[in-house]
Homo-oligomer: A and B are copies of this chain.
């Protein structure tokens, strides 16, 4: 069967959640939303494009920081309403400077630990801007 961007199930806002995973390590890097056009752009360019819900605009991941994500594989689920995008992450995915956005771990004792190390200083990369 051939893939049709329109065959995915988008929510009422026209969005589908995309789970971005580091292809080499399997680490889940981030989750963001794509609309139909962002899925098409991602397929066409081989880099991740999202729809920013807060800014209401396309967001080419890495445009500001240089930390682009080269797409290695795209999977969708049985409900056709979410994506896994396996990528080669340049630098760090998180705007806080960590490799993954998921760097807060809930411990058994109810405490939260920050896992991983900062790979860059957000202030130096973004200035006041906090995304990209």
Contacts and interface: CB of A to CB of B under 8 A. Distances in A.
A110 interface: yes
A31 interface: yes
A75 B19 CA distance: 14
Q: How many copies does the complex hold?
A: 2
Nearest to A96: B78
Contacts of A25: 26
A45 to B, nearest CB: 13
Given A27-B26, A84-B102, A2 B78 contact: no
A43 B106 contact: yes
A115 interface: yes
B106 A77 contact: no
Given A26-B27, A28-B84, A3 B111 contact: yes
Contact of A2 (B28, B80, B111): B111
Interface in A1-57: 1-3, 17, 19, 21, 25-28, 30-31, 43
